Amino acid sequence: MSIHPTAIIEEGAKIGNNVKIGPYAYIGPKVTIGDGTSVGAHTLIEGDTTIGMNNRIFSHAAIGTIPQDLKYAGEDVKLIIGDNNIIREFTLLNPGTKGGGSVTKVGNGNLLMGYVHLGHDVIMGDHCILANGVTLAGHVELGDYVVIGGLTPVHQFVHIGDYAMIGGASALSQDIPPFCLAEGNRATLRGLNLTGLRRKMEREDIDALKLAYRELFEQGQPLQEVAERLLEENRTPKVNQLCEFIVTSKRGIPFTRKETKKENMNEEM
């Protein structure tokens, strides 16, 4: 264990083995830090916050401070961070609220770049990348392997599925299904996140998703009906995951159907 003499560790804090804490850091009395984690200079960690093993927390991060919610009245709330995450400079991570389950949770192997904000009751999966200046409002849910480009705000209660990618400087106010790419202000679907899928997925799964995407978003039929039909056909587990997300979406899916040649001919006539 290596703790700089200017760091403040309140009585009651639980510090694991081989933890490094830099100059002028503050660790509150209800904080737990797992083995091998490093905490940078001037970092603030307070509240009922549990941090797992082998995380790297850089300088001036503020972790576990009270939710930015006017309804918060001092209830017991938690922030739980998994293992092997990288949390860069000036990030802000808030715990949950009573109305949202009282827990904000970050999984394993995520990269949160500078000035990222995770609002109250956010649930993040594993291996996500949030570029500089990404801000997640309260109750946002991210799956695994989600990538969000820099300076993108995400509206409260939005759900982003596994392997989805959101372009930089977008503004997202609706749900993005797994495996998809969205961008723009307001963000809309642009297709599948093929670059990400090719790194992690077999060709046959990608081909099945391509076919399902065309049927869902490009053929002019009601989205929910198509998703339900594909679920009944039970094509592949990945296609089922895509369709289940659509069927259960509460904020809707942002997309614009492409005009077909027939529609263009009708307009010309």
Concerning whether 138 is annotated as a catalytic residue, the answer is: yes
Catalytic pick among 138, 143, 161, 167? 138
Q: Helices marked H in the chain — which ranges?
A: 194-200, 203-217, 223-233, 237-248, 261-268
The conformation of residue 186, written as its DSSP 8-state character, comes to T
Token digits for 251? Answer: 């904020």
Concerning whether 121 is annotated as a catalytic residue, the answer is: yes
Cα–Cα nearest to 49, from 6, 15, 24: 15
Number of C-beta neighbours around residue 233 at 10 A: 12
Task: Round to whole Å and give the CA distance between 228 and 232.
Answer: 6
Token digits for 31? Answer: 């904080």
**Based on the number of CB atoms within 10 Å of its own CB, is 251 exposed (0-12), middle (13-18) or buried (19 or more)?**
middle
Catalytic pick among 120, 127, 155, 159? 120
Concerning whether 127 is annotated as a catalytic residue, the answer is: no
Task: Round to whole Å and give the CA distance between 188 and 230.
Answer: 22
Catalytic pick among 48, 69, 121, 126? 121
Catalytic residue numbers read 120-121, 138
